[in-house]
Amino acid sequence: MTRLLPNLLKAKKRGGQEIKHTKFGPLNDELLKIGKGKKYFIRTYGCQMNVHDSEHMAGILEQMNYTQTENIALADIILVNTCAIRNCAEEKVYGLLGKYKALKKINPGLILGLCGCMSQEEIVVERILKRHPYVDIVFGTHNLHRLPQLIQEALFSKEAVVEVWSKEGDIVEALPTVRHEHFRAWINVAYGCDKFCTYCIVPYTRGKERSRQPNDILQEIRDLTDQGYQEITLLGQNVTAYGKDLIDQKVNFTKLISEACLVNIPRIRFTTSHPYDFDEQLLDVFKNRSNLVEHIHLPVQSGSDLILKKMARKYSRSRYLKLVEKIRTVLPDVALTTDIIVGFPGETNDDFLQTMSLMSEVEFDSAFTFIYSARPGTPAAKMNDDIELTEKEYRLQNLNNLQEKISLNKNKQLVNRKVELLVEQLNAKKPGLLSGRTRSNKIVNFQGPPTLLGKLTYARITKAKPWSLDGELLEI
Ligand code: 5AD
Ligand code: SF4
């Protein structure tokens, strides 16, 4: 029975070892037979990286001949793909596992698997083995391609099969994929992160920065374009560091994006960029290529130099503001969004007010705001987390109130303007109501025919709200 447990100390180490690029599969006949007549259900928490990993897991399961079910009670295998970024996300998972345990009474052959970022933490795996022994498989972010072999072992094992690689392995190409949507697709460009912001567990759970080969990425974009996709999002924890590890290739993110934009796909996005690595030449690509949409997600985390330093963000408030100014000079209509943490250890009211003033100064289109959550094994977890929860909540509320006003003001500037929309959803409750996303990533609700789903269209904005817009269709 496999028992390979995670170790955060090992995960932290960065070495110069070469990353190999290998290919998934092929699966042998026995593995291909395992899923015949069986159903799978995947529950995903966390960021787009996890969403995309779940698409790969779905692809692998379907290659093993499992079929998807929306009804969890019918599932023969349930995978919970987890997020470790904040404690609250972890607590939800433990609660969910308790519920899923009951399903084993109905279907004793049910395989319950835990994967994703939480599996990379030793305290999580210890807790699972002790308190949730009914979990059958635990695997991590580096070895999801091993899913077929782990299922095969679990089918014959009485105890949990645990295989978590603490160190990242090869980059595995050609992973089968079942995408949730047929018009918008995620593409990984790089895995891992070497920034080690002091609060963040990602460099431990996702390993060192590793870039995919540019040709593999470009081929995937071309294939998706041929399949009729309208929009792709290039994914990485820090896409702006793309290529730094591909020493022989002389490629960076700006070059990759320039080439990607030559593919005839209507929309290209990317996320997430780090202000430290942001290459200003990228702005020229925005100016010259119409399919690179005008939205930049640029996490600032704090407006206080003291806190930025304690977070090890590698830039100051003024450097961030200068970067924003440069971006806005070249791209006046760009939508800027950000991530902000309140209540980082030692954050005084004055530090917090500096975050509020930065928010007012930049006027972000929207912001993801979080209360600091101590993550075991990170440097910040050893700092004195000295702010009362009520104070953290108060700061979060103030920040959200301010952003709401700013977002509403920004959205009001769009009223009467014509916008391009990619239609994403039919409203289940209100027939005839559709929602689409602008190039700047804003949601617009409007009346229209369901045939528009997955297509590009145009609307005129009629009403602004803080988190969405209303519009009327201009062209069918
Ligand atoms: N506590 C709260 N928020 C965090 N983030 C990352 N780590 C933590 C943490 N320990 C936030 C950051 C990051 C976003 C994805 O999650 O703002 O940009
Ligand atoms: Fe975490 Fe910082 Fe890396 Fe983002 S850049 S994933 S916040 S360590």
Q: Which ligand is nearest to the CA of 300?
A: 1
Six-digit token pair at 94? 């433990």
Distance between CA 32 and CA 39 in Å, rounded?
Answer: 14
DSSP result, 8-25: HHHHH----PPPPEEE--
Six-digit token pair at 336? 């800027």
Distance between CA 456 and CA 439 in Å, rounded?
Answer: 10
The answer to whether the CB of 276 is under 6 A from ligand 2 is: no
Query: 190-229: string of b/e by CB count within 10 Å (b at 16+)?
Result: bbbbebebbbbbbbbbbbbbbbbebebbbebbeebbeeeb
- Alpha helices, DSSP H, located in 348-473: 349-362, 389-412
pLDDT tens per residue, the chain (476 residues)?
Answer: 789 999 988 999 988 778 889 999 899 999 999 999 999 999 999 999 999 999 999 999 999 999 999 999 999 999 999 999 999 989 999 999 999 999 999 999 999 999 999 999 999 999 999 999 999 999 999 999 999 999 999 999 989 999 999 988 889 999 999 999 999 999 999 999 999 999 999 999 999 999 999 999 999 999 999 999 999 999 999 999 999 999 877 899 999 999 999 999 999 999 999 999 999 999 999 999 899 999 999 999 999 999 999 999 999 999 999 999 999 999 999 999 999 999 999 999 999 999 999 999 999 999 999 999 999 999 999 999 989 999 999 999 999 999 999 999 999 999 999 999 999 999 888 889 999 999 999 999 999 999 999 999 999 999 999 999 999 999 65
The answer to whether the CB of 240 is under 6 A from ligand 2 is: no
- The minimum-distance atom of ligand 1 relative to the CA of 368 is 17
Centroid of ligand 2 to alpha carbon of 107 (angstroms): 40
The answer to whether the CB of 341 is under 6 A from ligand 1 is: yes
What is the DSSP secondary structure assignment for residue 309, as one 8-state letter? H
Of the residues 209, 237, 308, which should be mutated to test ligand 2's pocket, given the most ligand atoms within 8 Å of the CB? 237
The answer to whether the CB of 237 is under 6 A from ligand 2 is: yes
Distance between CA 264 and CA 260 in Å, rounded?
Answer: 9
Six-digit token pair at 81? 């793909």
Centroid of ligand 1 to alpha carbon of 24 (angstroms): 32
Contacts of 393 (CB under 8 A, 6+ apart): 371
The answer to whether the CB of 54 is under 6 A from ligand 2 is: no
> Which residue, judged by its Cα, is nearest atom 2 of ligand 2?
197
Distance between CA 207 and CA 147 in Å, rounded?
Answer: 19
The answer to whether 399 touches 359, Cβ cutoff 8 Å, is yes
Distance between CA 164 and CA 118 in Å, rounded?
Answer: 10
> Which residue, judged by its Cα, is nearest atom 13 of ligand 1?
339
